[in-house]
Structure 1
Amino acid sequence: MRLLIHQKLRRYLLLLVMLTVAVVEIPIIAAGHLTKPLPSDTIIVLGAKLIGSQPSTMLRLRLDETIQLYKQGYAPTIIVSGAQGLDEIATEASIMRSYLVANGIPTKRIYLEDKSYNTYQNLLNSKTIMNEQGFRNAIIVSNASHIRRSLVLARQLGIEASGSPAPMADNAYLTAKQYAREGAAMLSLLVLNK
């Protein structure tokens, strides 16, 4: 009898975990595939880890997406956003700007936001630049796993924004890890805002 109750409890817990994962992860995955950019005043590129003086793979994918948007005329300016982590030799924003300039983006079209350490700060500080420059709307660029949470935070901060999901790294482990991380972050965001 006890064993039967234990097995049923385990099944219910497993079902609860699977439902939670489905409810949280499916919208994240869908946003990463379905979100489309709208013409805007600026593009906000969210920072990510550096490898020495170079963008990591995830950050390079974000920057390449930004270059494509800029060259296609989606926005005339770019805000690069990210501070210097403890294990980084420069600010993410400065390395991002260098990468963009090396790929043909004029320096005068790039605004530097180098004080933020997380997505919320990236967007809050970028909003300040938007207000100072009179920008009304933005395209947020991040990797597909991160775009939903970025847009939810932007909405909470009163930023009129569309998104442009950059591809994920061609690494199944890293991709699974990023989606799991975003699922936990999104769940935390939803629970804390109740």
Structure 2
Amino acid sequence: MLQSKQLRKYLLFLVLILFLAVEVPIIAVGQLAKPEPGDVIIVLGAKLIGHEPSTMLRLRLDEAAKLYQAGYAPFIIVSGAQGCDEVISEAAAMRNYLIAHGVPADRILLEDKSFNTQQNLANSLAIMREHGLQRAIIVSNASHIRRALVIAHNLGMEASGAPAPMANNAYLTTKQYVREGAAMLALVFKQP
């Protein structure tokens, strides 16, 4: 009985250490990352509601529009395919939103074939190369920036991060950070 109790305490301690080792860097990068001027802003897709961006995606798009208006980069790549429950591609909805918020249509490049972050960044890198663009600013919500930057680095993309705020919803924010922790662990174990 005593050994079983000690084992449970030990396992709980290991889980806590693993949780902190994974989540603290995600939180830190999401709070501390700063965009550096570049050639293109890449906005990673997220869920749509009908033809409209979800709250998380709107926060990303607002951050991208702000960076564009401040002169951080002359182009924006909007990246995201059409999910099975979406009426248009995420990229198309993002383009429409940015145009409605003052970004000229000829400054927006569409990447509408990707269904996950790896594909978002690989396909966006191909567009960058096609247009002679070297340095990217990746825009996503704070919980997602660390993983996006790790993937970009693994692809050989020169990139800085611009964390958009998280939704003002404790449940959704907690869910996103836990999801990113699991995704970071999967990324680490998938590395060659």
Normalised to the residue count of structure 2, the TM-score between the two structures is 0.99
2:140 matches 1:142: yes
Give the aligned partner of residue 107 of structure 2: 109
**Aligned partner (choices 11, 14, 18) of residue 20 of structure 1:** 18
Give the aligned partner of residue 55 of structure 1: 53
Offset, 1:193: 1.1
AA partner of residue 112 (structure 1): L
**Aligned partner (choices 160, 164, 168) of residue 162 of structure 1:** 160
AA partner of residue 78 (structure 2): V
Offset, 1:192: 1.7
Offset, 1:191: 1.6
**Aligned partner (choices 74, 77, 82) of residue 75 of structure 2:** 77
Q: Name the CA distance, whole Å, in 1 between partners of 2:150 and 2:50.
A: 31
Give the aligned partner of residue 176 of structure 2: 178
- Aligned pair count reads 192
Identity of aligned residues (%): 66
Q: Name the CA distance, whole Å, in 2 between partners of 1:104 and 1:34.
A: 28
**Aligned partner (choices 81, 88, 91) of residue 89 of structure 2:** 91
Q: CA RMSD in A?
A: 0.5
1:9-31 CA-partner distances (Å, limit 9, x unpaired): 00010001000000000000000
Gaps of 5+ in 2: none
Offset, 1:51: 0.5
Normalised to the residue count of structure 1, the TM-score between the two structures is 0.98
Gaps of 5+ in 1: none
